[in-house]
Structure 1
Amino acid sequence: MALRLYDTKTQTLRDFTPLRPDEVGMYVCGPTVQSSPHIGHLRSALVYDILRRWLTYRGLRVTMVRNVTDIDDKVLVNASEDEHWWALAYRMELEFSDGYRALGILPPTYEPRATANIQQMQELIARLIEAGHAYAASDESGDVYFDVHSWPTYGALTRQDVDMLEDAGDADPRGKRDPRDFALWKGHKPYEPESASWTSPWGPGRPGWHIECSAMARRYLGESFDIHGGGLDLRFPHHENELAQSSAGGDGFACYWVHNGLVSIDGQKMSKSLGNSIYASELLSTASPLVVRYYLGQAHYRSTIDYHDGSLREAEAALERITGFLERATRRLTGTRFAATEAIAIPSEFAEAMDDDLGVPQALAVLHDSVRAGNAAIDSDDLSAAASALGAVTAMTDVLGINPSSTAWNGSEDAANTATLGRVIEALIDQRQTARRERDFTTADRIRDLLASSGITIEDTPSGAHWSIDG
């Protein structure tokens, strides 16, 4: 089955065919670093991490670009006398990076900052002016605007009639020919810091938000590339304006538009005005990063996630079932001829789910079915089936980035502590086994109770005693 993705522009499921064989160019709108990352930022980044991992598993070499918008109206507004705009932007960028890293999100191939691509933005603006699709403001403010009526297909991404749109609120309308025209370049204002201004053919100023992504996508991926991703809230005006200005500038731009759903809180839209935003640091303080990754990644990427009390507990319970099986199967197979098995391909049902518009919920169902089958195989002492299940579960969790045994989730210190704990437990189990052989049941029961009080469960089997840590 070929990979199919839902293309927001055509509003259809389309077979994915990359522009170049075995290669994929993907641009994802990254953060505007004016404040701390929230749960929605993490969810969006995770969606495209999973897509990237799946494309890689399918044998494609992925070039992924995720930008950083470090100059913007909001960045300037949130700066202060004690913290310059560029210092605020960098501090927030580091917070985003920390959140991505905590969730095991792979770093992008390129992560360009807007401020490092001003020349490319000006070049695109100049092309648009020359082609008659942009103009300098009539009030000599230094502003430059995109003429939405000059581009016949404006509104194609979101299927809107340009004459029915509300005014673009990204700049003072005085210099506009039409209130729906949007800013490509913003002339410097007296109350803005000089450091937030660059020289240009139209006067000192800074780029508009939309032109930034068009210029960076072109610089790092070329005139045409495969996938453009971002949150559903970016479809309009940001992505609509990107598509219009890039196309009007002569670029093919994105072949597929992919948008992830948003996150609500107890059924309400998350927003600062409602005071219900959950920030990344808060979320990561309530559960392990692996649990958070599982929670944010388990729903279909186009659906809305509703966060509520108990959400993380449900994810934690699901992960405990996976972890428990992996640990149990590894212990049971140690020392047998099934201990070192060759890498096992993921089940076809899992692949079919992932190929069908990244159907993670269905893929997770296959994963948990394999866990149940593996536990049943261990119960019946079918070591061959247990080994197959262990290989399949390992492969599936690796693809999704949720393998609890992966080094991504186990630092060297944690691994050393786990190994030490394991040796202590094994020694106590050996003592218990010796006591049982010598019919010293008082000592055997005392050791069992000691382990149980510490959350360690002993499972006596025909092949010996095995232990697991309770969830």
Structure 2
Amino acid sequence: MKLYNTLTRKKEPLETIEANKVLMYICGPTTYNFIHLGNARPIVVFDTIRRYFEYRGYSVTYVQNFTDIDDKIINKAREEGIAPLDLAKKYIEEYFKDADKLNVKRADVHPRVSEHIDDIIQMVDRLIASGAAYEVDGDVYFDVREFEGYGKLSGRSLDELKAGARIQVDERKKNPLDFALWKKAKPGELSWNSPWGQGRPGWHIECSAMSLKYLGKQFDIHGGGHDLVFPHHENEIAQSQACGCGFARYWLHNGFITVNQEKMSKSLGNFFLVREILEKFSPDAVRFYLLATHYRSPLDFDDEKLVVATKSLEKIKNLSTTLSKLLESPVQQEDKEYNIIYNIVEDLERKFTEAMDDDFNTALAIAALFDFAREINGIINSPSFVITEKTKEALNKAAAALKQLGGNVLGLLFDTKDDPDKASDSLANDLMDILIGVRAHARQQKLWAFADKIRDELKEKGIVLEDSPQGTKWKLLQKEQGDGSRS
């Protein structure tokens, strides 16, 4: 397995600190609003990476934090007239609602900054004692010139970083790039007592302190969006290693989601909330859209791309449904199709693993699923295909592979029965089964006009019936958000 390491700017073989175990820390959201699609991408990407490690037999410890203390939270809380921690708690709860819909597994630990103030203070204290940080009138700053490797993650020198950064002028700093570890409290602001007076943590120190607490001085993977490379992750490396921690061995960063080639962000006002998107598109289609492009590549957003994702995912979902129905079918005479099916399953598993082993290439993994669906559909829709005990065994293997790779690893084939829209879909399936049964009975009785009337009237409603040796399928030609099909 190879991972692209932002730190070395190349793919490297995976060598975990402890055999068969992966320790992961993923930067979570700042909780002052609902998550938008740009926030959702790292959430889904690293959830999928975690799932793949588990599929490959690794024991994974997965930590994702919540930043519940921040200038944005304080300002938003002031606008809404509530306490900052109450505001953060509200949006953490809302985060879980959106993440659950996208089939994102809960982390083993979801630490919050407000619950780790003592850990942060202890780390800042050690940095001051080592000479890597200094206190000025209640504020504590990290001295970047005391850390020889500063800039190694972003691949730039101190002078280049200084020239390219938007730095707030502060005459008290030794260097303009020095960053706050502890901030002196302003009047009436949320604060905690510390050796340097009332204040609160800076942004960067929180992840260093919490990863140390839950994963130890060195862990395997640190992940997040590309926008975190500098300054957040650069500063995490500096303060952690200056404190005697080896910190992360591999740094993984997903690409931006853009809108008209411009980064999606709240500050630019061009963001789309996940829950607004889910009003128009299914959660599994949104997850599919986020995974259909390699995680390091940029992903440009528009509604049409989600329409395409919906149609594409429907092909895999339809195969899953078809296989389930075939496994319930009665056995017929012997045939030789089962060997071909086993070969197709083995080919899927090989292609899928090769793709994911190469820096988690979900785009190629999904392409392997489409190849699999096309080949299996070609066999089961063949006029010569019949159900036997051996083909059932082979189809069961195919269904299990689809569920494992498309469902458990990519997280795409999940049950959304609690969704009111899905409940309506379930009722539609049941009603169509009844109509198809009535039509089949009419044809058996040679009531051709009646059978044709059912077919023609359904077609007028945008529903097409497709007869095959394996039975009748129905297809919904037009939906509000694009075509779809069911069997």
**TM superposition score normalised by structure 1:** 0.90
Q: C-alpha displacement at 1:414, in angstroms? A: 7.7
In the alignment, does 2:312 pair up with 1:311?
no
- Aligned residues between the structures: 458
Listed as ranges, the gaps of 5+ residues in structure 2 are 333-340, 477-483
Question: Which range moves more in the overlay, 95-104 or 269-278?
Answer: 269-278
What residue in structure 2 maps to residue 447 of structure 1? Answer: 454
Listed as ranges, the gaps of 5+ residues in structure 1 are none
Say what the alpha-carbon RMSD is for the aligned residues. Answer: 2.5
In the alignment, does 2:151 pair up with 1:155?
yes
Does the CA contact (< 8 Å) of 1:332 and 1:466 recur in 2?
no
Q: Cα deviation per residue 1:297-355 (whole Å; 9 max; x = unaligned)?
A: 211000100002411111011011112222233323422459xx99x775101110000
Identity of aligned residues (%): 40
The residue type paired with residue 177 of structure 1 is K
In the alignment, does 2:142 pair up with 1:146?
yes
Question: Which range moves more in the overlay, 411-420 or 89-98?
Answer: 411-420
In the alignment, does 2:175 pair up with 1:198?
no
What residue in structure 2 maps to residue 466 of structure 1? Answer: 472
The 3 A distance-change label for structure 1 pair 197 and 389 is same
Q: Cα deviation per residue 1:258-317 (whole Å; 9 max; x = unaligned)?
A: 111010002222244543221222222221111111111211000100002411111011
Does the CA contact (< 8 Å) of 1:378 and 1:386 recur in 2?
no
Question: Which range moves more in the overlay, 157-166 or 231-240?
Answer: 157-166
What residue in structure 2 maps to residue 181 of structure 1? Answer: 178
**What is the alpha-carbon distance in structure 2 between the residues aligned to residue 175 and residue 288 of structure 1?**
52
Q: C-alpha displacement at 1:434, in angstroms? A: 2.6
The residue type paired with residue 432 of structure 2 is I
Does the CA contact (< 8 Å) of 2:167 and 2:177 recur in 1?
no
1:35-50, aligned counterparts within 5 Å?
Answer: 35-50=33-48
1:49-448, aligned counterparts within 5 Å?
Answer: 49-80=47-78, 82-137=81-136, 140=137, 142-166=138-162, 173-190=170-187, 192-193=188-189, 196-272=190-266, 274-337=268-331, 347-380=349-382, 381-382=384-385, 384=391, 389-404=398-413, 406-407=414-415, 409-411=416-418, 421-448=428-455
What residue in structure 2 maps to residue 23 of structure 1? Answer: 21
Q: C-alpha displacement at 1:255, in angstroms? A: 0.8
Does the CA contact (< 8 Å) of 1:328 and 1:468 recur in 2?
no
**What is the alpha-carbon distance in structure 2 between the residues aligned to residue 362 and residue 40 of structure 1?**
22
**What is the alpha-carbon distance in structure 2 between the residues aligned to residue 61 and residue 286 of structure 1?**
37
The 3 A distance-change label for structure 1 pair 47 and 309 is same
**What is the alpha-carbon distance in structure 1 between the residues aligned to residue 291 and residue 422 of structure 2?**
25
Q: C-alpha displacement at 1:16, in angstroms? A: 0.8
Q: C-alpha displacement at 1:169, in angstroms? A: 6.4
Does the CA contact (< 8 Å) of 1:351 and 1:363 recur in 2?
yes
Question: Which range moves more in the overlay, 273-282 or 222-231?
Answer: 273-282
Does the CA contact (< 8 Å) of 2:38 and 2:271 recur in 1?
no
Q: C-alpha displacement at 1:419, in angstroms? A: 6.0
SS at match of 1:219: helix
SS at match of 1:174: coil
**What is the alpha-carbon distance in structure 1 between the residues aligned to residue 437 and residue 196 of structure 2?**
80
The 3 A distance-change label for structure 1 pair 225 and 153 is same
Question: Which range moves more in the overlay, 442-451 or 381-390?
Answer: 381-390
SS at match of 1:107: coil
Question: Which range moves more in the overlay, 112-121 or 35-44?
Answer: 35-44
Q: C-alpha displacement at 1:30, in angstroms? A: 0.5
**What is the alpha-carbon distance in structure 1 between the residues aligned to residue 307 and residue 143 of structure 2?**
51
**What is the alpha-carbon distance in structure 2 between the residues aligned to residue 240 and residue 57 of structure 1?**
31
**What is the alpha-carbon distance in structure 2 between the residues aligned to residue 282 and residue 26 of structure 1?**
30
Does the CA contact (< 8 Å) of 1:394 and 1:403 recur in 2?
no
Q: Cα deviation per residue 1:105-127 (whole Å; 9 max; x = unaligned)?
A: 11111001001001111111111
**What is the alpha-carbon distance in structure 1 between the residues aligned to residue 456 and residue 64 of structure 2?**
53
Q: C-alpha displacement at 1:26, in angstroms? A: 0.3
Does the CA contact (< 8 Å) of 1:146 and 1:181 recur in 2?
yes
**What is the alpha-carbon distance in structure 1 between the residues aligned to residue 33 and residue 433 of structure 2?**
49
Question: Which range moves more in the overlay, 311-320 or 441-450?
Answer: 441-450
The residue type paired with residue 433 of structure 2 is E
Question: Which range moves more in the overlay, 268-277 or 83-92?
Answer: 268-277
**What is the alpha-carbon distance in structure 2 between the residues aligned to residue 50 and residue 255 of structure 1?**
20
SS at match of 1:295: helix
Q: C-alpha displacement at 1:437, in angstroms? A: 2.4
The 3 A distance-change label for structure 1 pair 169 and 206 is farther
**What is the alpha-carbon distance in structure 2 between the residues aligned to residue 362 and residue 231 of structure 1?**
21
The residue type paired with residue 399 of structure 1 is N
**What is the alpha-carbon distance in structure 1 between the residues aligned to residue 39 and residue 134 of structure 2?**
34
**What is the alpha-carbon distance in structure 1 between the residues aligned to residue 282 and residue 166 of structure 2?**
41
Q: C-alpha displacement at 1:468, in angstroms? A: 3.2
The residue type paired with residue 468 of structure 1 is W
Does the CA contact (< 8 Å) of 1:214 and 1:242 recur in 2?
yes
Q: C-alpha displacement at 1:84, in angstroms? A: 2.3
**What is the alpha-carbon distance in structure 1 between the residues aligned to residue 36 and residue 90 of structure 2?**
15
**What is the alpha-carbon distance in structure 2 between the residues aligned to residue 102 and residue 428 of structure 1?**
32
**What is the alpha-carbon distance in structure 2 between the residues aligned to residue 165 and residue 429 of structure 1?**
67
Does the CA contact (< 8 Å) of 1:185 and 1:206 recur in 2?
yes
Question: Which range moves more in the overlay, 225-234 or 160-169?
Answer: 160-169
**What is the alpha-carbon distance in structure 2 between the residues aligned to residue 184 and residue 197 of structure 1?**
14
SS at match of 1:27: strand
Does the CA contact (< 8 Å) of 2:417 and 2:423 recur in 1?
no
Does the CA contact (< 8 Å) of 1:375 and 1:386 recur in 2?
no
Q: Cα deviation per residue 1:112-166 (whole Å; 9 max; x = unaligned)?
A: 10010011111111111111111111xx2x0011111111111111122113322
